Amino acid sequence: MSQQGLTSRLEQLRDKIRYHEYRYFVLDSPEISDAEFDQLIKELQRLEAQNPQLITPDSPTQRVGGEPLPGFRKVEHKRQMLSLDNAFNASGIINFANRIYRLAGSEQLDFVVEHKIDGLSAILTYQAGILIQGATRGNGLIGEDVTENIKTIRSIPLKLPERIDLEVRGEVYISKKDFAEINRERLEAGEALFANPRNAAAGSIRQLDPRIAAERSLSLMAYQLVHYEREEITSHARALSLLEGLGFKVNWYRKTPLVDELIACCQDWTKRRDDLPFEIDGLVIKVDDLNLRRELGSTAKSPRWAIAYKFPAQQKVTIVEDIIISVGRTGALTPSARLKPVQLAGSTVSRATLHNLDEIKRKGVKIGDSVLVQKAGDVIPEVVKVITDKRTGAESDFVMPEQCPVCGGEVLREEGEAVFRCTNITGCPAQRREGILHFISRNAMNIEGVGPALIDQLLAKGMITDFADLYRLKKDELLSLERMADKSAGNVIKAIAASKGRPLHRLIFALGIRHVGSGVARVLSQNYPSLDLLAEATSEELVAIEEIGPVIAASIVSFFKERNNREVIAKMKKNGIMPEFRPEKEQEKPELVGKRFVFTGGLSSYSRAEAKERVIAAGGKVTANISKNTDYLVAGENPGSKLVKAQQLGVLILDQKKFEELLT
C-alpha cells in the first residue's frame, strides 16, 4: 500500500472505531458485537505497530497511555469553577425564581432543569478539534492536569467532528453497577471501601497510572459549553444540543418557563432516582438565556443564575432484628444487620452492612437496637448510629461465632487483622462459591452470561466443585438444568471457552489470592511470564519487586503452597488454560504477516471471534470464503463445504492442534 493509501486506510479505520465507541459509550446502543469491535481495534493496533510514524494522538488506540506519572501538573483555570447554591424544597425553588425575576425585571424567561450527577467536575479543552487537556476542578481556581486519565474515558471524544477550539465542563462519574463491583473487589482484597460512587470516581481520576483509571469504567456527562467559536450561543439548551451533536453524553434536561414544572421535575426525580444507572444527588436549575446569565453574574462562591435542588437525606430509623454472618471468598466472616424493612428513597431496605466486629463495637450496635440507616451509593445500606435513647434493656450483644456458620470450620482472627476467618480453606462451600463468582467476574476471567444462579445450580448438582471444572462442562450436561434452553447452553459453553484466551494477569487476579488485586496481578504477570513461574517464586524474590510488599508476598507464597490450590491449577492446565504473558507488541509473527486464513467448523478451545483475533494479532488476515489466494483453512469440528473446496484448490488445511502450534 502506498503511504497515502495507508494514511487514508488508518483514518477510515479510526473513524469507524470512533463511530462505534460513540454508539456504545454515549448512546448505549451498539451496532456491532464486542468481538467485532475488538477486531477493529486490533487491526488498527497492528497497522500502527507496523507504521509507528503514522500514529496520531487522537487515534482510539491512544486512550491508555504508557507509564505511570510521577505526579500531576497544576492547572490554573481560565475561569473560576464555582460551586452551586442549594435549595432543599419547593419554596427554595420559588425563592430562586423570584430572585431571578426581580433582577431580570421580567417573568418571561426560560429555565433549564437537569440532573445533578454525583461525581466530580472536569474541564476539557480541545484545540482544532483535538482533545489536548483534561483537568479537575481542584479548589475552583487551580486544578490538576489529569489528561492521561481523561483520555481513557471512552464516552469522551478524542477528536471532534469539527476542527474547532472548544472548552467543555462535565461531570466524571462511575455507574452504580461498576461502583458496586469495585467495592466488592476491594472488600475481597482487604482494601478500604469507597464510601460512594463519587469518591470512587475521584479516586480513579487521580490515579497516577492511567491503566488503572482505564479499568475503572469512568464516564463523563457534559453540562456546559464554555467556549464555542462557530456561532454566538445565547441559549443553554442550544449549547447542550450542540454538545450532543459533537458526540458528548449530555445530562437529561428540560427547558421550561414554568416554576411549577421545575418543582414537579424535582419531585418526580426524587422518586425515580433509583431507576437511573448512576447516582444523582439532586437537580440543577439554570437560567437558559446566556446573556442574562452574564448580567446576573456570580457571588464569590456561586453563580446567581443557577441553583442545586438537593434531595432529602436518605436516612431512616429502624430496628436491628438480628446480626447475621456471611462467609466470603477468603473466608472472611462479614456481619450484617437484618433490619425491620423500611422504605428508603424508593426501595425497601432490610439489610445493612456492619463490615466487621471492630465496626460493630465502634458503633455500639446491639441486636434489638433502633438505628439510623442511610443509603450510600448502590451498595447495601449502612448503619449511621444507634439511637441509644430508645434502648429498653432487652437488647443483646453480638458475639462472633467460633465456628463457621456454613461449614462448621474453626474461626480465627489473625494478629493485627480486623477480620475473622473460617480456616477451612479447602472444604468450606461458602468460600468455594464466592471464589468461583470472583473467578468469573468482569475484571477477572469475565465469563459473560454466567452468574450466581447458574453457579449455585452447578454446585448443588455436583457438576462443578471449583472454577477449573467450568472448563470441563459439556452442553448436554447443561441442558439437564432448569430453564436451560439449547441456545443459552451453547452460549454458556462459548463464553467459558472464550475466557481461555484471557491474558495472564486476569487469570492471576481471578485465582483470588488474598491482597492481589488487578493492579498487583498485572505487575506479577510482567515479572513472571507464566503461572508455573509465579508458583515457584520465593518471598525474597517477590519483595524485590517495587510494588510488592511482604504481606502480599507472603500471601502469594502461601497460596501456591496450599495443596488444594495446586490441584485446581493443575486441573486448569489439563483443561488447556495456561496463558503466558504476551507483551502487546511482540505478538506478531513475521511468518504469518499478510497470510489469509479461513475458518470452518467449531474450535473447542476458543470462540471463532477469539481465534480470528489471534490471527489478526499475529499479523494475519481472516476472510470469509475460500479462494486460490487463501493460505490456510482452519478446520474444526464438523467442517462445512469449505473443506472440500480447499482440498480442490490445494489450500493448506490445519486442524486445531496445528493451528495452535502455528500461532505459538
**216 backbone dihedrals φ, ψ, rounded to 5°:** -85, 5
Grid cell for residue 511: 485465582
Residue 422 engages Zn ion in binding (rule: CB under 5 A): yes
Residue 318 touches which of ligand AMP, Zn ion, none (Cβ within 5-8 Å per kind): none
* Sole binder of Zn ion in the list 404, 470, 615, 618 (CB under 5 A): 404
Residue 59 touches which of ligand AMP, Zn ion, none (Cβ within 5-8 Å per kind): none
Q: Give CA–CA dist 27/64, Å, rounded.
A: 22
Q: Which residue's CB is nearer to ligand AMP, number 201 or number 373?
A: 201
Interface with Zn ion by CB under 5 A: which range of 4-12, 26-34, 397-405, 599-607? Answer: 397-405
To ligand AMP, the closest distance from the beta carbon of 173 in angstroms equals 9
Q: Which residue's CB is nearer to ligand AMP, number 121 or number 207?
A: 121
Residue 400 engages Zn ion in binding (rule: CB under 5 A): no
To Zn ion, the closest distance from the beta carbon of 456 in angstroms equals 17
Residue 287 touches which of Zn ion, ligand AMP, none (Cβ within 5-8 Å per kind): none
Q: Which residue's CB is nearer to ligand AMP, number 137 or number 421?
A: 137
To ligand AMP, the closest distance from the beta carbon of 81 in angstroms equals 6
Asked if 116 is an active-site residue, the reply is yes
Residue entry with cell 479537575: 136
Grid cell for residue 641: 463445504
614, 591, 622: which is closest to 660 by C-alpha? 614
Q: Give CA–CA dist 372/315, Å, rounded.
A: 7
Alpha-carbon Rg for the chain, nearest whole angstrom, is: 28
From residue 39, alpha-carbon distances to 44, 594, 612 in Å are 9, 16, 8
To Zn ion, the closest distance from the beta carbon of 336 in angstroms equals 17
To ligand AMP, the closest distance from the beta carbon of 134 in angstroms equals 14
Residue entry with cell 437484618: 338
Q: Which residue's CB is nearer to ligand AMP, number 201 or number 327?
A: 201
Residue entry with cell 517495587: 546
Residue 407 touches which of ligand AMP, Zn ion, none (Cβ within 5-8 Å per kind): Zn ion
Interface with Zn ion by CB under 5 A: which range of 10-18, 113-121, 217-225, 415-423? Answer: 415-423
Summarize the chain as % helix, strand, coil (round to 5). 40, 20, 40
Q: Which residue's CB is nearer to ligand AMP, number 225 or number 618?
A: 225
Strands 253-256 vs 111-117: parallel, antiparallel or unpaired: antiparallel
Q: Which residue's CB is nearer to Zn ion, number 565 or number 600?
A: 565
Q: Give CA–CA dist 537/513, Å, rounded.
A: 14
Residue 58 touches which of Zn ion, ligand AMP, none (Cβ within 5-8 Å per kind): none
Interface with Zn ion by CB under 5 A: which range of 86-94, 180-188, 389-397, 404-412? Answer: 404-412
To ligand AMP, the closest distance from the beta carbon of 506 in angstroms equals 34
Q: Are 92 and 307 in contact (CB under 8 A)?
A: yes
In this structure, the number of other CB atoms found within 10 A of the CB of residue 462 comes to: 8
User: What's the N-to-C CA distance of the chain in angstroms?
Assistant: 28
- The residues that bridge with 307 in the sheet, in sequence order, are 285
Residue 409 touches which of Zn ion, ligand AMP, none (Cβ within 5-8 Å per kind): Zn ion
Residue 428 touches which of Zn ion, ligand AMP, none (Cβ within 5-8 Å per kind): Zn ion
To ligand AMP, the closest distance from the beta carbon of 226 in angstroms equals 12
Strands 621-622 vs 596-600: parallel, antiparallel or unpaired: parallel
Q: Which residue's CB is nearer to Zn ion, number 297 or number 408?
A: 408
To ligand AMP, the closest distance from the beta carbon of 64 in angstroms equals 25
Q: Which residue's CB is nearer to Zn ion, number 39 or number 424?
A: 424
The rounded Cα 90 to chain-centroid distance in angstroms is: 36
Interface with Zn ion by CB under 5 A: which range of 105-113, 400-408, 520-528, 635-643? Answer: 400-408
To ligand AMP, the closest distance from the beta carbon of 223 in angstroms equals 4
Q: Which residue's CB is nearer to ligand AMP, number 77 or number 186?
A: 77
Which positions lie near ligand AMP, rule CB under 6 A? 83-84, 114, 116-117, 120-121, 137, 171, 223, 251, 284, 308
Residue 407 engages Zn ion in binding (rule: CB under 5 A): yes
Residue type, 63: R
From residue 565, alpha-carbon distances to 266, 513, 559 in Å are 54, 10, 7
Residue 223 touches which of Zn ion, ligand AMP, none (Cβ within 5-8 Å per kind): ligand AMP
From residue 637, alpha-carbon distances to 516, 581, 585, 603 in Å are 39, 29, 32, 6
Residue 425-444 contact track with Zn ion, rule CB under 5 A, x = bound: ---x----------------
Residue 335 engages Zn ion in binding (rule: CB under 5 A): no
# chain residues binding Zn ion, by CB under 5 A: 7
Residue type, 217: S
Residue 278 touches which of ligand AMP, Zn ion, none (Cβ within 5-8 Å per kind): none
Q: Which residue's CB is nearer to Zn ion, number 297 or number 427?
A: 427
Q: Give CA–CA dist 579/388, Å, rounded.
A: 56
Residue 325 engages Zn ion in binding (rule: CB under 5 A): no
Residue 406 touches which of ligand AMP, Zn ion, none (Cβ within 5-8 Å per kind): Zn ion
Q: Give CA–CA dist 262/284, Å, rounded.
A: 10
To ligand AMP, the closest distance from the beta carbon of 120 in angstroms equals 6
Residue type, 306: A
Q: Are 526 and 508 in contact (CB under 8 A)?
A: no
Grid cell for residue 272: 425515580
Burial 55-79 (b: 16+ CB within 10 A, else e): beebbbbebbbeeebeebeebebee
Of the residues 16, 74, 116, 574, only one is catalytic, namely 116
Q: Are 252 and 284 in contact (CB under 8 A)?
A: no
Give CB contacts under 8 A, 24+ apart, made by 639-643: 639/600, 639/601, 640/600, 640/601, 642/598, 642/600, 643/600, 643/601
Question: How many residues can be counted in the chain?
Answer: 664
Residue 409 engages Zn ion in binding (rule: CB under 5 A): yes
Residue 332 engages Zn ion in binding (rule: CB under 5 A): no
- Return residues touching Zn ion (CB under 5 A): 404, 406-407, 409, 422, 424, 428
Active site residues: 116
